Structure formats: C-alpha cells, structure tokens
Structure 1
C-alpha cells in the first residue's frame, strides 16, 4: 500500500437520491431483476499533492469475477510543495462514482476494491439480495 494513504468515509449509496443532495446509505443492495444502480462515496487522504495519482475501483462477485472495472480516475498534482507536511494538515479528495444498471450474478456478498497508484488500499463488502417486488 502506498505509504500513509487511507480511504475514509466509504459508503454504498442509492444512486437516485444523491442529485437532490440527499444521500441514502445502503446496508445491502436489493434487486428484483438482477440489475441495480448505486453510487459509492469515499475520501482518500494522506497522499502527496505534488505528483499525479490514479485511483481505480473494481467491483466483483463472491467468486472474484469482475463485474465492473473503472478507468483510472486521475488526481492531478500541483507540482508544488503544499502544506501537507505541516502537522495537522491532511491532503485529500472526496469522490462519488456512479454504477448504473449493474447486472448481478446472484445473491451473495460482493466486494468493491479501491486501488491507488495500482496498489490495493482497501476493500468494502456489501450483500446483494434478490426480492419480490412486493418486498421492496
């Protein structure tokens, strides 16, 4: 893992509600037809602001089969030494990434892996549950 880099404030969220500034955090993804749209919100902190960095998200099923792999999300460096080395000052970025009409392979626990500069820095699990329309 890149030294010091951390993921904080990670949440799986309902995709439909974030546009009106209301966030509905999800404890599970519930679907009737195997498809579901959702967002993830997270912050990445404690990285050097002087150089460029890349973040990638990979969402997999319980067997490790990749359902979605994002392109690299670039964080452009300033090329200048900032205040990040001063005591108590944190360098970071907060991101929201949408995943639309993801086709799930069945019920189970799925995993979102987050890579920073091609190294895995954290992973987050969420259950996917199939329900009848009347149960939603």
Structure 2
C-alpha cells in the first residue's frame, strides 16, 4: 500500500519471521516512530504478562508505552491510533489517548467499515 512499516515491542512478543513479512523491527520505539506519520498501538493482553513474556506492565509502559515524549519523535501532526479497548498507562498514556493527535474514537467507530475496505483491497478489489 506504499508505506513503510516499523514494529517495536518486546522481542518475546514478536514473531521470529517478522522481517520476512516485509516490515522492519526496531527494539527502540523512538527509532521505530522516527518520522512516522502514524503511530499504531495494540492492546497488551494481560495474560501475556502472566506468561512471563515481559516482566511487568509498568516496565512495558516505561519501554514501549506511547506518551507525549515518544510522540515527539514522530512527524509533527502524526496520528496516534489504537483499535481499542486501551489499557491506559500501559501501551498508551492518557495524554496521548485523549490528545490532539489521537484518532482512536473515530477509528473505533469506523472499525468495521475500515476492516471491510482493507479486506476488499487486499483481496484484489479496485485494480
């Protein structure tokens, strides 16, 4: 679709073959969002923490949580997206979730239509 995708997160949560999928991985979230037009966050499933895939939700937020400081590394005007429901203070800080860069509420409202359109395009529609 004409974009560069860079993922960041604990190595224990990343598929081994991630770079074979045509995306890049950077353990440092600041480098991953550098010059990004969009920062897309995913919900941490708390059962992952119980499985020992990362030490604690506090540490996760400290390393990979999106806060105002992290968003400064992205392009000015970069959007913050998250499919919901969010874990405030884990993958996203309240000031980002509720801030001017957030389009989370709009994203959640239009989620079904968006997924339908993406499936249509990925399935070869509108060639």
Task: Tell me which interval the TM-score lies in, with the shorter structure as reference length.
Answer: under 0.3
Q: Which has the higher contact order (CA 8 A, sep 6+)?
A: 1
Which structure has greater strand proportion? 1
Which structure has greater helix proportion? 2
| TM-score, normalised relative to structure 1 | 0.21
